[in-house]
């Protein structure tokens, strides 16, 4: 029997000996595992950006209402266990290993029969279903991996609601070259007759989702930025209300995040709760508390006073980061810790950032193993684009310390450009016994 580290290594090696499987394959795997997904209700969430945050808002609200909740998300930042939460706590190594052995036995059985081995993501999804069933949760908030139509999570045939967050260009080699094509893939999670709550800010994407919902007879609820009024954005978070809403009225909501886009993500969660009110009664006070107590790693997350990490790594994510930084540079000098991997358009990312944000100092570092971009190369691109105060430091812990030093007591530090960077900073905070500026890890 494998131990925990061997099990993680086995899963990491899985892409080397498997192919993309069909949904019928995933459903057959679930059947052989005893259909664990039938032991709880599912809210299924797809989209390009904001999926994880929206899942976190939904889970926090349900938890405040007294429901037991599973949360399945990806990717992980530090440890693979982060992908499976029970009541907002990462599962233990023992729980992970027990589920792994069940899915590994199934995989061996399939291969022996001449069938395909489950994919990397399929293995994790199957493990999640086993884990949540054995934990006896009431609800699972389920984030898609890639796309939606062919995603392993879409093997769930009877969710109580489907949610589609903002759609933009990413993973185009798999999902299509137009917003309409990508939206079509995301809309693949819609189930006949099951309500879909979606981000309607992009007219092209919204049209695709609306037409698919109509075709399947699924009630559709559109949410747009103009539906909400932002009352304040501070270092502590955002306060907002709906401009006109029969259910919530002018209730004021608070979220503990500083990025404006979290208003949309939380509004999608709020509308989902409204749509489900007849089958899932949740008191208003639980909704308010759930939003205000939501925690989500790596997405405009404050990890120390005045220190924010954000995994923005595509065009839309960078635009949202810049929008947030523009707001705060009016009051605080900003420092940037930046890194990116080579398959992202990091030159455009840097140009966009520097064209709109003035920095006291920029520290570039390198992450991502074989995909890393040298720190000095990134620093040189910043300098070429007019940011003279840029330096490259290869070692992430050293780069983080230097950025903290340059932040000063009056400034804010944003650590941006890659989820790998966020993960490494989290590891530094977790593993170090030192006191960092403004807090103790």
pLDDT of residue 170: 57
pLDDT at 420 over 90: no
Assigned token pair, 87: 């009541």
411 close to 306: Cβ distance less than 8 angstroms: yes
φ and ψ of 259, to 5 deg: -90, 130
166 close to 50: Cβ distance less than 8 angstroms: yes
pLDDT at 43 over 80: yes
pLDDT of residue 436: 52
pLDDT grade for 281, boundaries at 50, 70 and 90: confident
Residue 220 exposure: Cα atoms within 13 Å on the Cβ side: 22
Read off the pLDDT of each residue in 319-332 and give the average, rounded to a whole number. 90
Three-state SS at 162: strand
Read off the pLDDT of each residue in 266-270 and give the average, rounded to a whole number. 98
pTM of the predicted model as reported, rounded to 2 decimal places: 0.85
pLDDT at 172 over 70: no
Mind listing the pLDDT tens digit for each residue in 184-220?
989 999 999 999 999 999 999 999 999 999 999 999 9
Of 314 and 108, more confident: 108
pLDDT grade for 26, boundaries at 50, 70 and 90: very high
Read off the pLDDT of each residue in 163-192 and give the average, rounded to a whole number. 81
Mind listing the pLDDT tens digit for each residue in 338-366?
999 887 889 999 999 999 999 999 999 99
* CATH superfamily, region 301-431: Mur ligase, C-terminal domain (3.90.190.20)
4-292: CATH number: 3.40.1190.10
pLDDT at 384 over 90: yes
pLDDT of residue 19: 66
Which residues are within 8 A (CB) of 66 and not within 5 positions of it... i.e. 6 or more apart?
286
CA distance 218 to 175: 23
pLDDT of residue 39: 97
φ and ψ of 251, to 5 deg: -55, 140
- For the chain, domain boundaries: 4-292, 301-431
Mean pLDDT of the chain: 91
Mind listing the pLDDT tens digit for each residue in 389-417?
999 999 999 999 999 999 988 899 999 98
In the block, residue with structure tokens 């994510």: 317
pLDDT grade for 433, boundaries at 50, 70 and 90: low
φ and ψ of 67, to 5 deg: -85, 150
pLDDT at 147 over 80: no
pLDDT of residue 371: 83
pLDDT above 90: percentage of residues in the chain? 71
């Amino acid at each position: 029997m494998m131990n925990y580290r061997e099990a993680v290594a086995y899963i990491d090696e899985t892409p080397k000996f498997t192919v993309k499987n069909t949904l019928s394959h995933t459903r057959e795997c679930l059947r052989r595992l005893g259909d664990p997904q039938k032991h709880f209700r599912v809210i299924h969430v797809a989209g390009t950006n904001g999926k994880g945050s929206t899942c976190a808002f939904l889970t926090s609200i349900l938890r405040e209402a007294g429901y037991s909740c599973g949360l399945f998300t990806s990717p992980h930042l530090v440890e693979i266990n982060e992908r499976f939460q029970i009541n907002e706590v990462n599962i233990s190594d023992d729980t992970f290993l027990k589920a792994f052995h069940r899915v590994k036995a199934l995989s061996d059985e399939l291969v022996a029969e001449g069938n395909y081995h489950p994919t990397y993501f399929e293995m994790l999804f199957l493990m999640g279903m086993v884990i949540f069933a054995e934990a006896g949760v009431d609800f699972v908030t389920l984030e898609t991996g890639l796309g939606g139509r062919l995603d392993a999570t879409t093997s769930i045939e009877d969710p109580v609601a489907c949610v589609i967050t903002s759609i933009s260009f990413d993973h185009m080699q798999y999902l299509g070259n137009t917003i309409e094509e990508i939206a079509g893939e995301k809309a693949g999670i819609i189930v006949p007759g099951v309500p879909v709550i979606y981000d309607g800010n992009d007219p092209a994407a919204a049209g695709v989702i609306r037409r698919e919902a109509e075709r399947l007879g699924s009630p559709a609820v559109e949410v747009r930025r103009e539906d909400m009024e932002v009352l304040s954005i501070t270092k502590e978070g955002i306060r907002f209300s709906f401009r006109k809403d029969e259910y919530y009225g002018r209730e004021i909501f608070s979220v503990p995040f500083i990025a404006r886009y979290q208003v949309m993500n939380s509004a999608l969660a709020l509308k989902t709760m409204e749509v489900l009110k007849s089958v899932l009664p949740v008191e208003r006070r639980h909704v308010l508390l759930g939003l205000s107590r939501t925690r989500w790693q790596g997405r405009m997350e404050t990890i120390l006073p005045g220190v924010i990490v954000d995994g923005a790594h595509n065009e839309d994510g960078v635009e949202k980061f810049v929008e947030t930084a523009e707001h705060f540079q009016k009051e605080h000098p900003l420092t940037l810790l930046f890194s990116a991997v080579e398959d992202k358009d990091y030159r455009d990312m840097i140009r966009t950032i520097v064209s709109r944000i003035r920095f006291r100092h920029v520290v570039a570092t390198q992450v991502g193993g074989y995909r890393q971009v040298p720190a000095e190369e990134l620093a040189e691109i910043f300098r070429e684009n007019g940011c003279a105060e840029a330096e490259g430091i290869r070692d992430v812990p050293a780069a983080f310390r230097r950025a903290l030093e340059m932040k000063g007591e009056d400034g804010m530090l944003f650590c941006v450009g890659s989820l790998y960077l966020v993960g490494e900073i989290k590891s530094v905070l977790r593993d170090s016994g030192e006191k960092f500026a403004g807090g103790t890890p």
